[in-house]
Amino acid sequence: MRPGGQPNMQQMLKQAQKMQQQIAKAQAELAEAEVTGTAGGGLVTATVSGSGEVKGIRIDPKAVDPEDVETLEDLVVAALHNAAEAAKELTDQKMGPVAGGMGGLGLPGF
Buried b (16+ CB within 10 A) or exposed e, 91-103: beebbeebbebbe
Question: Rounded to two decimals, what is the model's pTM?
Answer: 0.69
User: Residue 68 has what pLDDT?
Assistant: 95
Check residues 67 and 8 and name the one with the higher pLDDT: 67
CA max distance for the chain? 77
**Going by DSSP bridges, is the β-strand pair 44-49/34-39 parallel, antiparallel, or unpaired?**
antiparallel
